[in-house]
Copies of this chain bind each other. A is one copy, B any other.
């Protein structure tokens, strides 16, 4: 028995015509596959409109009520898609997160899935129906409605695919798949046939926007193959699966970039145990997403600590660092929001030690100064000046042969 979970995002169901298109596509798939579960996001801008409405009522609305409000968006799109399928003669039934039994913790607006009890879904699939599930939402054991935060619908789709032991989870999107660089920046960017979960995670963490880290992590944990593909045409997209299943292991799979971060350096921090813990503990308390963290070996009694944060968080970070500087007796702090992070990702680089050197030389050959370096076994990230960002991405893409088949 074949079973596929298909996820369509908000742009795929932005209006009535697009909903009908999705219905046609799903009905087509149903002819080739025994069972289809569809997960949908809210229609186009619905979520933004609801958020705006809430903020006009209250500047800081209670999160429980935000979830109550926002979850209606997906309920609307599922009902409409089920209607469109019925209109095509394909029996279908829509289900809320509660009806599917997507149990989450009580973390309103960013809840985590604890369990998917898919009995009801299986029951409906056995009747030959397409089950249309509201993405992004769940329910606590007390019956409270929760939402899963950014990229939540992808997570819903993967969680259901895992619970049902689906053959794969198809993520439909407005691009053709996962590219080895951003096509808007690099004309020679190529679509990847397959990429491993780990590579995809590194790509998501370093700026690729096509999938959220969270859903990829979930897919990796439960071994659910993902297929990222276009909602406009039927061609193959990019498979994201376990490393063992990715046949061709390229040394470098992709170049990614992130222009949305800022660099913070705390200068002359006393080199004592516990200082870094204090700094990043305070940043975590202020709900800041810290990305790269770098501390050089100190030659004296003091050292410098640098890290990157989203530019949007910079004001909040400033308050924390000012306090840290005072309380630990550091010498000061500098801020730079004119940076670009450029990264090379590739599972094959583990066994090819020359990659880092190749990257640094390519940047040097292009007169690009490196401000920070951070590595993982399958990734090298460099922070450079924002003005050098595009040039760096293009140069690396070319140097590592990513423009060639």
* A161, CB-defined interface residue at 8 Å: no
Known: A50-B76, A143-B98. A57 touches B69 (CB 8 A): no
Contact B75 A79 (CB under 8 A): no
Q: Looking at the complex, which of A60-68, A165-173, A250-258, A329-337 is the stretch in contact with chain B?
A: A60-68
* A93, CB-defined interface residue at 8 Å: yes
* A94, CB-defined interface residue at 8 Å: yes
B residues in contact with A80, CB < 8 Å: 53-54, 57, 65, 69
Least distance between A52 CB and chain B CB atoms (Å) = 10
Known: A54-B80, A83-B57. A94 touches B72 (CB 8 A): no
Report A277-306 CB contacts with B as 1/0, cut-off 8 Å: 000000000000000000000000000000
Copies of this polypeptide in the complex: 2
Least distance between A169 CB and chain B CB atoms (Å) = 24
> In the complex, A315→B108 CA distance in Å?
52
B residues in contact with A66, CB < 8 Å: 79
- Across the interface, A83 reaches (CB within 8 A) one of B61, B72, B76, namely B61
Contact B79 A65 (CB under 8 A): yes
* A347, CB-defined interface residue at 8 Å: no
* A56, CB-defined interface residue at 8 Å: yes
> In the complex, A128→B280 CA distance in Å?
39
Contact A19 B143 (CB under 8 A): no
* A84, CB-defined interface residue at 8 Å: yes
- The A interface is mostly helix, strand or loop, or mixed, namely helix
Known: A72-B76, A98-B143, A143-B99. A65 touches B86 (CB 8 A): yes
B residues in contact with A327, CB < 8 Å: none
> In the complex, A228→B82 CA distance in Å?
39
Contact residues, A80-124 vs B (CB, 8 A): 80, 82-84, 86-87, 93-94, 96, 98-99, 120
- Across the interface, A65 reaches (CB within 8 A) one of B20, B65, B82, B145, namely B82
B residues in contact with A308, CB < 8 Å: none
Identify 8 residue pairs between A and B in the complex whose beta-carbon atoms are under 8 Å apart, listed by A's number: A58-B87, A62-B86, A66-B79, A68-B79, A68-B94, A69-B80, A98-B143, A99-B143
Given A68-B79, A69-B76, A99-B144, 20 other A-B residues pairs in contact with their CB atoms under 8 A: A16-B53, A16-B56, A19-B57, A53-B80, A54-B80, A54-B83, A57-B83, A58-B84, A58-B87, A61-B83, A62-B82, A62-B83, A65-B86, A68-B78, A68-B82, A69-B79, A69-B80, A72-B75, A72-B76, A99-B143
